[in-house]
Chain A
Amino acid sequence: MTTIYSAKKIITMNPVRPEATHVAVRDGRILGAGSLAELKGWGDYTLDERFADKVIMPGLVEGHSHAMEGTLWRYTYVGYFDRMDPNGKVWSGLDGIEGVLDRLKEADANMEDPDAPLPGWSLDPIYFNNERVTREDLDKVSTTRPVGVMHASGHILNVNSKALEMAGLLKTGLNNPGVPLGKDGLPTGELKGPDVMTPVGIHVGFDRDMLACDEQGLVDFAKLCVRSGVTTATDLAARLPDEAVEMMSRVTARENFPTRIVPLRFHHGVTPEELIAHVLELKKKTSDRLRLGMIKVVVDGSIQGFSARMRWPGYFNGAENGLWYISPEHLQQIINSSLEHNIHIHTHTNGDEATELVLDCMEEGLLQHPSRDHRFTLQHCQLADTAQFRRMNKLGMCVNLFANHHFYWGDEHYNLTVGPERAERMNACATALENDVPMAIHSDAPITPLGPLFTAWCAVNRLTASGRTQGEAEKIEVDEALYAITLGAAYTLKLDGEVGSIETGKRADFAILEDDPETVGGESLKDVGVWGTVQDGRVFPASEL
């Protein structure tokens, strides 16, 4: 059974024939792309013209996202930017505390149980002239139920008095840098850092069930993928206990599940030996739409949380150096064992010192266990300098840069965290490509919204939210950005033989677009409309999710 789709244009990412008008699909895979006359040679076919006025691209690949974004949408969105939920509703951005409170009040009014917690997410006071939300503000939403709002960065939680009271923190005499106090000596309701957030967060609905993606969350995440043209997405870091793997296997196997999910096993909480053993077990459970068997190692924290590990001269504002989340010995051990067992690792490094440590450990590991095609990938890797990109190249490493970060927090980095010069080199896409380091770019959803075309726009324009171009020299071309969100990302997952381009033998994974990203101009990439996707030959219109 062959279906030939016609399109206004097919961008194949296959240099042999970069453009086509038709693509033939059989059994969920691509027979070929070309003209109708060429494709007729495959025999009987049905001509499907529903995409005749659309542009078809290879299904987009998000190399660093978290399926938790699907779960978060059950909570009240209070972000500064417009954002689309899994059902396609666009929630308007809120540009001040009043707006945030109004939306929370609306949510409060819709809740029946007066004691149930009210969680909100994606608050970003940077855009309200850094005016802080206080517990008194949130008390205007409710004094009977606990209310808590997570910041967009995920590093700060604001709560009301009720939530503090339930956690036993509505008292004077607290002495913790993560708990700022008001003039009355009581906490202001702002809680900074995961250790401080957790004991209060459990009372406002940010409990552990939320942080692990559940069944509904996974289904909702997949809807967001369809809406952004994504057919393969990572769930970058989960503990992957048996129940979670069973759930994910079951859900992704459904006939109408539209996304290939690639979950990575988080290194924390188990010894290196246990980690390797678990991942070898996971590898056996891999399936077509659930690709298991990779590891994510978190090496340091975040730049805006001042927990990233920085080389000299450190943070621009003089903050103390950040935190290691793994010892060099354990990192080395995990890298060595993974090379030995042919397990694929992605490492989270934000600061350049953390990146340097990974490079050192890779150099050592490869001496002991030479590997011709390991594709170990540095995730975020936001502050790498040119010398580090040269080392990545020599060590056969890939990089997945956080292009979106530039837009959302670029001004903050320029003014506060790393200062002007390093802010301009952050997420150095052009340097990566110049040094032949295989490169992807990412959203880290839910930290920033899932949307590879938006991410491509960020990498091409390097605009900050205030409208400044930051790092002219690190801009990349549109074709380079489109490659990064398809084959580039697929390569970092060792899936480039299956997805990422439209050519004979590969999966019939397409992003169906309303506009042509090759001709709209770099400044309009983010506005390219997404009709939906085709995944393994199955058609998923966004309008029918």
Chain B
Amino acid sequence: MTQLIPMPLTVIGGYLGAGKTTLVNHLLRNANGRRLAILVNEFGELPIDADLIEADDGDVISLTGGCVCCSYGNDLMMALVDMAKMNPRPDHIILESSGVALPGAIAGSVSLLRDYVLDGILVLADAETVQERASDKYMADTILRQLQDANIVLLNKVDLIDDAAKPALNDWLQEKSGSASIIETRNSALPIEVALQSFEHDGNFLADRSTHSTSQFETKFFNLTNSVNVEVLANELAAASEIVRAKGFVSDEEGELKTLQLVGQRYDITKAPENVEAGLVVIGVKPLPNLSHTLTGI
């Protein structure tokens, strides 16, 4: 039995009404050739915009661009086991958890399945209501545990609150979510390369070496020829709250090439594949901190 390359999976969490479904639709519209598979708890409140749907045969909805949407009901793990048998396999799985689920626990379970590799946990917070929910008689600890689990927090619907209220809300979220990256959004409009790991599996991800920026985000490429302490580097990148994602191949102090992958505050360091070149791509909120010292001076 040949072992296929594990599929990257992103967990989208957050309470009811925070904008999870809107985010899923936004990502589908901007999939740009990626074949996304969406797993939702239930096909309720029309999880997918009608114009994206090509065919609906009950359990699986076929979407434009080779994407699909399935509901998992009360048995997420079984749905994931089934999805691994799909042919062709999706490029990326987006798992929309239910409003009361703990995304960290889901991620922990996903990590046991050899067909998947966790890309990150994205938790949406409704700027208008998140603090009120976080002191709700019944839901407070659930909301706080969801935020704690996040690698990236989307502070959504920021257009609906006063600008003056934003700094305090950001500080509060930062405290509750550990060192997750916090990104302000409207209508869950998050660029797909920020939301999802968009690098190739085979190491060719560095093909696009241009450094570019959109209104809110910036992508920078670093040519890393020197050896560094990868662990220390990863910690520094994780501590910089502007940095949302990073991936690259870095030469460690023994001169061995390592893959470094970072989402928010969480990172993995593994042995790099053969035949890849050193280099690092960093995506974050503008302006990115000056990393030249970090990347060369350690």
Contact = CB atoms under 8 A, between A and B. Distances in A.
> Do A and B interact with each other, yes or no?
yes
A208 B112 contact: no
Contacts of B72: 269
B74 A268 contact: yes
B62 to A, nearest CB: 20
A239 B74 CA distance: 10
B100 A176 contact: no
Nearest to B111: A176
A537 interface: no
Contacts of B113: 168, 199
A169 B43 CA distance: 32
A313 B141 CA distance: 14
A357 B138 contact: yes
B42 interface: yes
Interface in A146-185: 167-169, 174-179
Contacts of B213: none
Nearest to B113: A199
A323 interface: yes
B71 A198 contact: no
Contact of A325 (B100, B106, B141): B100
Interface stretch (A29-37, A326-334, A490-498): A326-334
A534 B149 CA distance: 56
Contact of B42 (A196, A271, A328, A329): A271
A142 to B, nearest CB: 21
Interface stretch (B76-84, B177-185, B283-291): B76-84
Interface in A410-451: none
B45 interface: yes
Given A271-B42, A271-B45, A176 B108 contact: yes
B105 A195 contact: yes
B102 A323 contact: yes
Contacts of A174: 111-112
A353 interface: yes
B197 to A, nearest CB: 20
Interface string A268-309: 111101100000000000000000000000000000000001
A321 B71 CA distance: 28
A327 B109 contact: no
A270 B138 contact: no
**Top 5 closest A-B pairs, CB basis?**
A269-B73, A271-B44, A195-B109, A198-B77, A268-B74
Interface of A: 167-169, 174-179, 194-196, 198-199, 202, 208, 239, 266, 268-271, 273-274, 309, 321, 323-330, 353, 357
Interface of B: 15-16, 41-45, 71-78, 80-81, 98-100, 102, 105-106, 108-109, 111-114, 138-139, 141-142
